[in-house]
Amino acid sequence: MNTKVKFYFLVIILLIHCLPAVGQINGNFRENQAKAFAASSADECQSSLKFCKEVLKVVPNHPLINYLTARLNAILGNEKIALEQLNKATELGYTTKLPFNKTHHLNDTAFITLREKEGFKQIMKALEKAEKPIHKSQIAFSIKDKKLGTEGITYDPVEKMFYLGSHYKHKIIKVDHFGNSIDFTEEGQDGLKLVLGIHVDPIRRTLWACSFSEEKKEIFKYDLSSGRLIKKYSFPPNEVRHGFNDLVIHPNGDIYISGGGAIYVIPHLSDKLEWFFKNELIVSPNGITLSEDGQVIYSADYLLGINKIDIRTKSVMFLSENQGHSTFGIDGLYFFNNSLYAVQIGLNQISRFSLNKDATSLKDCEVFERYTPELIEPTTGVIVDDYFYYVTDDGGQGEHPRGIFVMKVAI
């Protein structure tokens, strides 16, 4: 067995070693999550606890799963474990302030018997502390059209212009630093649908965009100067068509795309959409970014956390987290100066995770924004000069819609 074969054999063994820990996660996470929230009988609780234990083997700091572990143990009468897990979930960011939490400490009947315990009262104090707003950002500019429904944002450092994609109007707009905007594409131009991740390639003067509809999931490549469509990329008719979520541009011009339980690539040499990476460790890929040397992909799995993928070997590992911090619920993810900037819509916060020297774990986390009136459904961002810009958008809903604001925070 030559050296190269030995190396790849070891990689395969390492991957196989990782798989049992996630065998019960992939493909049915949300179903098992729903069962854990609904569990009431001893058998149901025990079954859901098996799922929770599998997740916690991979991601010990998981606010949602720590919370579910607490409620299941509370129902089973394991008060000590229930209080420990509920306290941990609170410290990690599972609070009553999260936009998607219908069940929490204050309305969950699973904790009725614990509410007079001293341990539960201490958790209520920790909850009050965890729910205090953090405000370090400022408004960079707003968009007049409140009905765009934006998610993706990118920046062209040559013309010093932002580009934002629209959910509702199926177009891309071009915006200056004061919020003045013009259409880069017209509504539905070239078959463009709901726009997700977008990215400017300032060197090759192109703009790339992920487009989604039930019928078509495509990647669009535009000429940045003229707005002319250069090419669209999609899967062959007989292949399963997964959605595309976000993308990033390698220094050599290769495009890496997240979505559908996998990472895809459009190599600059072949200019064809291909599979790059699919593994049991990837459940819900979302934000994607590259190390400065272009050797590593950092992919945000919304449900599980951040994984690190070596582009050459395709080996994958989860980045371990320090106590008290969680990488749950990340939409946008961006690498800069040995740190990962994250838009954590699942925790309603904007964060910076510092990496250790060999980039195998996260040293610490600084929260820039959390639970403020400005932080309405944040999605993605972009690093420009000394600031991290990110989008907040209430979709133009409600009696007094706030619309779209682009926030910025000094980095």
Virtual CA dihedral for 184, 190, 195, 198, nearest 10 degrees?
-60
Q: What is the mean pLDDT of residues 217-244?
A: 87
pLDDT in tens, 33-59: 999 999 999 999 999 999 999 999 988
Q: Average pLDDT in the 138-165 region?
A: 95
Homologous superfamily (CATH) of 134-410 is TolB, C-terminal domain (2.120.10.30)
Mapped onto helix, strand or coil, the DSSP state of residue 42 is helix
| DSSP H or E segment with residue 111 | none
Q: Is the pLDDT of residue 271 over 60?
A: yes
Locate CATH 2.120.10.30 in the chain. 134-410
Strands 138-143 and 150-156: unpaired
Q: How confident is the model at residue 90 (pLDDT cuts 50, 70, 90)?
A: very high
- For 7, the 3-state DSSP assignment is helix
For 355, other C-beta atoms within 10 Å of its C-beta total 21
Cβ neighbours around 176 below 10 Å, total: 13
Global pTM value: 0.90
Helix (H, G, I), strand (E, B) or coil at 298: strand
Residues 159-183 pLDDT 10s: 999 999 999 999 999 999 999 999 9
User: What is the model's pLDDT at position 16?
Assistant: 30
C-beta separation of 322 from 92 below 8 A: no
Residue 102, Cα to own-chain centre: how many angstroms?
21
